[in-house]
A = this chain, B = another copy of it.
Amino acid sequence: MAVTMNDVARAAGVSLKTVSNVLNDYEFIRPVTKQKVLDAIAELGYEANLTARSLRSGKTRMLGLVLSDLSIPYYAELASRLMTFASARGYRVLVEQSGAEPGHELSALQGPFRQLTDGLLFTPLALDAGTIAAHQGTKPVVMLGEHIADPRFDLVTMKNAEAAAAITAHLLASGRRRIAVLGAASEDTTDSPGLRLNGYREALKTAGVEFDPALVVQCDWRRDGGASAVGSLLDDGTEFDAVFGLNDAIALGAMHELLIRGHKLPGDVAVAGFDDIDEARFASPSLTTVSPGMEEIAERSVKLLIDRIEGAEASSEGLHVEAGFELKVRESAP
């Protein structure tokens, strides 16, 4: 059996509660008493039982992180950083994979997972704002990403439209005029595909270049999505001199397909992505992309969530945070 507070109390010759008070930094304890307790703790090798503490206090000191799949590099890198920041504030992160399925997202929001955590970092991909609002419960939730931009929720996101516009402007500045966009989804402008597409169109308008719907291709946000999307453009005979993948995976997949089919990069086609995942730097050619400030997103979302949990952030409105972005010009689109 493990050492309990009771054992410590007996060894130190004080009451159970005094041990608890020492551990919780209660103000009014004589130094001599405190020392007796600390000595007893050290001698017995006592460690607080976190489960018991959770039961009594109602806090677990864990943050829930809901994302679709940890094997997606963007999420893996984000999770890693979130854990680091959470750890610095004395919290752990418990990850739940939703597979982007509404049922899983909902059960992460309401089910036992929720009980285990004091607050949620939530990347909603399948649920809409109304459903989330109806089931979010009383513990704090911070939204990550931009699928949900609703004043009711706290949200930490990136400057999707501005960054997409900046990278499009970069392609235009290098003389490209027919820029294919891969990965667009609906015309919905509240999610990241929509916002990025919007940024692209804004940049075209600013440059006075006409928008051509034939250059916009839907595809999965994965490498094979990008590969087949650019493949279909080539097969259709659609002309283009640049490709903007709405994320790096798409761009890398497209680059791969273009190289296989014998196109020269960036000579024939310039390629740009979005996210600045690690491998963008090491692709051949290295991928021009935009870094959406993941470090900042991780830091600020953890801070916001913990402040909500601990009551330090009391505003009743949802706070919206947008991290800064940075253009990363590399070989694929100099």
Contact = CB atoms under 8 A, between A and B. Distances in A.
Interface string A234-265: 00000000000000000011011001100000
B278 A259 contact: no
A96 B92 CA distance: 8
Identical chains in the assembly: 2
A113 B253 CA distance: 39
Interface stretch (A3-11, A73-81, A209-217, A312-320): A73-81
Interface in A274-321: 278-279, 281-284, 286
Interface string A214-239: 00000000011001000000000000
A190 interface: no
Interface stretch (A51-59, A148-156, A166-174, A194-202): A51-59
Contact of A70 (B47, B79, B223, B282): B79
A20 interface: no
Nearest to A54: B51
Contacts of A73: 71, 73, 76
A136 interface: no
Contacts of A70: 70, 76, 79-80, 83
Contacts of A49: 55, 115
B282 A252 contact: yes
A279 B73 CA distance: 10
Contact of A112 (B50, B83, B115, B278): B50
A224 B281 CA distance: 10
Interface string A54-97: 11000010000000011101001101110110000000111111
Contacts of A55: 49, 51-52, 55
6 contacts: A50-B112, A76-B79, A92-B94, A92-B113, A92-B116, A95-B95
Q: What are the nearest 5 A-B pairs in CB distance?
A: A76-B76, A71-B80, A70-B80, A223-B282, A71-B77
Interface of A: 47-52, 54-55, 60, 69-71, 73, 76-77, 79-81, 83-84, 92-97, 111-113, 115-116, 223-224, 227, 252-253, 255-256, 259-260, 278-279, 281-284, 286
Given A48-B112, A55-B55, 4 more contacts: A71-B77, A92-B96, A223-B278, A255-B284
